């Protein structure tokens, strides 16, 4: 059953008015009409709803609240050094499906691409749309937050607000006996908010690694192989799902 994230401000005594792209999707794409049912997510709560009017906008009635078992038990923020091309779009879509709570792009020392203010705002809007669609498709009850692009210093400042910070560092993978990601996960059962940091193509520089180490970050090897920048976050989230779910 199709799922829609809806604005709480439109709720009126158990009824809700749907406008814009969602209304068009219901009537034009899904071809639903009066009496048909859908899933409405309002402020993180999931409801079975029924269409009561489709003359202009779409009006639905919230029938019953449904149980929510779709969210990862940890609040995981993925911090990605700006990669080339559309890799960040892929990371956003797939990480949303895998349970990411937030995406934090940052300008890394080895980031090749540069976003000016105009380009940044447009790209962030695009990522927010991708996150919303992926959250609907994967039947989540929350849309991940997509933060504006951070500088590396802003990333360091943000890291102080998390219970744990983990850096995917390829030098750990190259070392015999490097810290295994699986071992770090077993120490996080009492942690709620976790920041996972990944570098762009070329990885994290030594200076960045030193700065993160000074902030108490953990450095982990994601297995014995070197992963692409768009693969590493998906590996990490999959491992976290296996460990905690």
DSSP string covering 88-141: HHHHHHHHHHTT--EEEEE--TT------HHHHHHHHHHHHHHHHHHHHHTT-S
Q: Is pLDDT at 172 greater than 70 in this prediction?
A: no
Place of tokens 């991708």: 130
- pLDDT band of residue 178 (cuts 50, 70, 90) is low
Helices assigned H by DSSP within the chain: 20-24, 87-97, 117-137, 152-159, 170-174, 181-185, 206-214, 232-244
Considering only CA atoms, which of 162, 188, 191, 181 is closest in space to residue 232?
Answer: 181
What is the pLDDT, as a whole number, of residue 224? 81
What CA–CA distance (Å, rounded) separates 236 from 98?
A: 10
- Average model confidence (pLDDT) for the chain? 91
Q: Which of 14 and 61 is assigned the larger pLDDT?
A: 61
pLDDT, tens digit, 9 for 90 and up, residues 85-95: 999 999 999 99
pLDDT category at 9 given cuts 50, 70, 90 is: low
Q: What is the phi/psi pair of residue 98, to 5°?
A: -90, 0
Residue 238 has pLDDT above 90, yes or no: yes
CA 90 vs. chain centroid, Å, equals: 11
Assigned fold of 3-66: Ribosomal Protein L25; Chain P (2.40.240)
DSSP state, 29?
Answer: I
The answer, yes or no, to whether residue 72 has pLDDT greater than 60, is yes
CATH 3.90.550.10 fits 75-244, yes or no: no
| Percentage, residues of the chain above pLDDT 70 | 95
Residue 48 has pLDDT above 90, yes or no: yes
Contact 201, 84 (CB under 8 A): yes
Question: Which residues is 36 bridged to in the sheet?
Answer: none
- In this prediction, what percent of the chain has a pLDDT beyond 90? 71
Q: What is the mean pLDDT of residues 70-79?
A: 96
The full set of domain ranges for the chain reads 3-66, 75-244
Q: Over 90: is that where the pLDDT of 147 sits?
A: yes
Q: Residue 238's Cα: distance from chain center in Å?
A: 13
End-to-end CA distance of the chain: 24
Residues 6+ apart with CB under 8 A from 218: 164, 165, 166, 167, 179, 184
Identify the burial level of 154 via C-beta atoms within 10 angstroms of its C-beta, where 0-12 means exposed, 13-18 middle and 19 or more buried. Answer: middle
Average pLDDT over residues 209-213: 94
């Amino acid at each position: 059953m199709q799922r829609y994230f809806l604005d709480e401000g439109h709720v009126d005594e158990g009824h809700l008015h749907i406008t814009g792209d969602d209304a068009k999707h219901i009537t034009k794409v899904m071809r639903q009409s009066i009496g048909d049912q859908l899933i409405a997510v309002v402020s993180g709560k999931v409801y079975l709803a029924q269409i009561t009017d489709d003359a202009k906008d779409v009006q639905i009635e919230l029938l019953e609240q449904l149980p929510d078992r779709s969210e990862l038990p940890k609040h995981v923020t993925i911090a990605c050094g700006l990669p080339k091309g559309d890799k960040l779009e892929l990371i956003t879509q797939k990480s949303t499906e895998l349970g990411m709570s937030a995406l934090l792009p940052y300008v890394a020392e080895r980031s090749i691409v540069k976003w000016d203010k105009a380009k940044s705002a447009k790209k962030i809007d695009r990522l927010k749309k991708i996150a919303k669609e992926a959250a609907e498709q994967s039947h989540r009850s929350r849309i991940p937050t997509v933060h504006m692009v951070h500088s590396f210093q802003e990333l360091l400042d943000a890291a102080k607000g998390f219970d744990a910070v983990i850096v995917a560092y390829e030098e750990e993978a190259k070392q015999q006996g490097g810290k295994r990601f699986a071992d770090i996960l077993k120490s996080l059962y009492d942690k709620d908010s976790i920041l996972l940091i990944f570098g762009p193509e070329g990885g994290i520089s030594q200076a960045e690694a030193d700065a993160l180490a000074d902030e108490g970050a953990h450095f982990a090897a994601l297995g014995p192989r070197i992963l692409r920048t768009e693969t590493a976050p998906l590996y990490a989230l999959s491992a976290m799902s296996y460990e905690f779910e």
